[in-house]
Amino acid sequence: MPALVNYSGDDDFYNGGSFYTNSTDLGRLCSISSQVDVYCPPRKRTRISAPFHFGEAEVEQNKQPSIDVLPDECLVEIFKRISGGKERSSCACVSKHWLMLLTSIRKGEYESSKVVKENFGSNSGDVEMILSEEDDGYLTRCLEGKKATDMRLAAVAVGTSGHGGLGKLSIRGSSSSRGVTNFGLSAVARGCPSLKVLSLWNVPRVGDEGLCEIAKECHLLEKLDLCQCPHLSNKGLIAIAANCPNLTALSIQSCPKVGNEGLQAIGKLCPKLQSISIKDCPLVGDHGVSSLLSSASSVLSKVKLQGLSITDFSLAVIGHYGKSVTNLMLSGLQNVSEKGFWVMGNAQGLQKLVSFTIASCWGVTDVSLEAIGKGCANLKQMCLRRCCFVSGDGLVAFAKSAGSLECLQLEECNRVTQSGVIGVLSNCGLKSLTLVKCMGIKDISLEAPLSSSCNSLKSLSIRNCPGFGTASLAMVGRLCPQLQHVDLSGLCAITDAGLLPLLENCEAGLVKVNLSGCLNLTDEVVLHLTKLHGATLELLNLNGCRRITDASLAAAAENCVFLSDLDVSSCAITDVGIAALSHAEQLNLQVLSFSGCSGVSNKSMTFLKKLGKTLVGLNLQHCNSISTQTIELLVESLWRCDILF
């Protein structure tokens, strides 16, 4: 018999209203949902000819949220109207599908990113409210290795849009199978127009398409760093040049498809370019470098060229147009001859050059080096690495012509001799001299007295020069009485007799002394050092000086007032020396290293705790006589100190 449902009342929606008095029918209805909205017109009798039957398929279909059946176009329109970044981030967490849809929306397409005006009444009249999101671009994100994927980039693009905007993005390394592709970079471009700094290292699946999207959307880009990107070419660089006029720094390394056309576009269309670095790009030649330098010469201040096939022509352009260049590095330029460096120096265009580094360039000779000294009137720092044709005579001529030179660094320049070093110190106002692995220096005693002294030299670093011995060190000591920083690490040939004259002639008081690897030094040197310079000494490194014993620690504890960094690793130190340090009243050590000291045992625990009141760094690596339990107690007690064990 058909059932009749009688209804009387207001025209309204009823949530979960009861249609049936039968409990079975009521249970069937409630099993669908407690939130079913049913509209019933007033005073109308509905005739139902058969009871309702709800199958399992129908129930499942009714349980499915209605938003999931909407087409992507509708979802995108909904997402565009979401008010804030937090809400969009919540939506992105629902599924990958929603995340992908969100990344397809440009930042400017959101309603909340547009200026919204709302007028509302108040006692003072109409007030205009402007709602907008911050996009200053101060957030930084870095993805490395396996973490660098398209999905993570998409999440970054959505998540940072409502929290100030992404300003700096670094991608370091990427998986060849599931790493970053053009899709991920495009997602960042659409969601992060505030991006100012982009660094791509070893991302083989990113090509011009992704970089073009960055150029199209991120017009505020200021710094671009590309390294080991085999699929990026001139097309991507041209797009950056055309759309990113604020570009100030460009670094390109090991990008085999980048050539002259891209650099030429950068030079013409990026008037604010201040720094350029190009390394190991085989397609870059004279045309690209010369066009870049001549076009962007007004503000370009830092130039770095490494491993390129450029010739003398490019160096001539640098010498003529580099009027604003203050920092210049040239490395591995095998096609540049002596003439190129000579012309660059004589062009007189590098008047503002302050720092110059030349490495592995066969064209650097005594003649070209002197020309550089004459043409760079304000040159203060000069570094020569693996310049095998530079001799001591050329170095002296350069020092005489470069009147403003303050810092000179020579690495693996094997034609430089002892007389060349003495000549440089006698003929210029150097403040810092560094010699590293210069095998041409031989320890020879000069019979003639030194003509003049170098009172300006404050820092002397001679590292791993086996020929630099006692006689050479004694001469430097007599020649440079104002030394404050001395680094003689790796000089196995020097002895106490060679170092003592230098210590005695330093009138200003030594502040930092590094004697690591000087195997023949004994406690006598440390005793003299602490007595003569204990009032100024702040750093003392005796790592590997195996003849140094507890007597040196006792001398340091007694005489050194400001010593904050002490390294006696691999020395003949025992618990007695540590006890002497702990009893020093005026000592205020912050960094202490006993690495490899087998004579230090568990007995030093009390002394180390006392020293630990001021320590921020303690190295106990390879101290085999200290037990693990003692280390754990020290770590617990010295909780403010970084302990290596």
Give yes or no for residue 4 having a pLDDT over 50: no
Kindly indicate whether the domain formed by 70-104 is annotated with CATH number 3.30.70: no
Confidence of residue 112 (pLDDT cuts 50, 70, 90): low
Q: pLDDT tens-digit profile of 550-563?
A: 999 999 999 999 99
Give yes or no for residue 342 having a pLDDT over 80: yes
Mean pLDDT of 195-216: 94
Sequence spans of domains, the chain: 70-104, 500-644
Give Cβ neighbours of residue 491 (< 8 Å, ≥ 6 apart): 462, 463, 464, 465, 466, 468, 469, 473, 517, 518
Mean pLDDT of 101-119: 53
Q: pLDDT tens-digit profile of 190-201?
A: 888 889 999 999
Higher-confidence residue of 320 and 22: namely: 320
Q: pLDDT tens-digit profile of 132-160?
A: 344 566 789 999 988 888 888 887 777 67
- Is 500-644 the same fold as 70-104? no
Q: What's residue 66's pLDDT?
A: 60
Whole-prediction pTM: 0.79
Give yes or no for residue 78 having a pLDDT over 70: no
Mean pLDDT of 277-281: 97
Confidence of residue 86 (pLDDT cuts 50, 70, 90): low
Q: What's residue 621's pLDDT?
A: 94
E-only strand ranges, 291-415: 302-306, 327-331, 355-359, 381-385, 407-411
Confidence of residue 130 (pLDDT cuts 50, 70, 90): very low
Instruction: Mean pLDDT check: name the lowest of 166-180, 283-297, 517-531.
Output: 166-180
Q: pLDDT tens-digit profile of 11-43?
A: 433 334 443 444 444 343 333 333 333 334 444
Give yes or no for residue 297 having a pLDDT over 80: no
- Burial pattern 125-147, b for ≥16 Cβ within 10 A else e, equals eeeeeeeebebebebebebeeee
Instruction: Mean pLDDT check: name the lowest of 242-256, 368-382, 432-446, 515-529.
Output: 432-446
CATH topology of domain 500-644: 3.80.10
**DSSP state, residue 431:** S
Give yes or no for residue 627 having a pLDDT over 70: yes
Give yes or no for residue 389 having a pLDDT over 60: yes
Q: What's residue 156's pLDDT?
A: 79
Q: pLDDT tens-digit profile of 439-460?
A: 998 888 765 555 567 889 999 9
Residue 342 CA: distances (Å) to CA of 309, 321, 368, 403: 18, 15, 4, 18
Confidence of residue 7 (pLDDT cuts 50, 70, 90): very low
Helical H segments across 428-547, by residue range = 470-479, 496-505, 523-533
Q: H or E stretch including 102? A: helix 96-103
Arithmetic mean of pLDDT over the chain? 83
Give yes or no for residue 325 having a pLDDT over 90: yes
* Residue carrying the six token digits 């009861």: 18
